Structure 1
Amino acid sequence: MARKYGIRPIFISICFTLLAGCTVPADGPTRASSGDAEKDLRVMSSALQRTIFEAAATGAVVGPGFVVVYHGRRTDAATLANSAIAGAAVGAAAGAYVGFLQKKYSNQEDRLERVKSDLDKNAQEIQATISVMRDVVDQQQRELAELRAQAATGAGDQALAKEVAQANANLGEMQKAISGAENRQREFESTRGLVPISGGSSAIDPELQQLSNQIAAMRAIASDLAENI
Structure 2
Amino acid sequence: MLLPDAYRPYYEKTNAMHCGAGEGGSKFVDPRVRSIFDVVGMAPELAQRVRERKDDRERLLAAGAAESAFLPAIKGPEAPSGLPEALYFLVDHVEGRLGVVPVSEVSDETPVMVRREKGHGRVGEEGYAPVSLTVMRGRSMEDMPHTQIATIVVGRDYDAQGNRVSDDVVWTVFPGLPSRPMRYAEYPWTQDLDDPNKIRVMSMREAKEKFSLKPDDTVKVVPGDMNAFLSVHTIVK
TM-score range, shorter chain: under 0.3
Bigger Cα Rg:
1
Q: Which has the higher helix share?
A: 1
User: What is the TM-score with the length of structure 1 in the denominator?
Assistant: 0.26
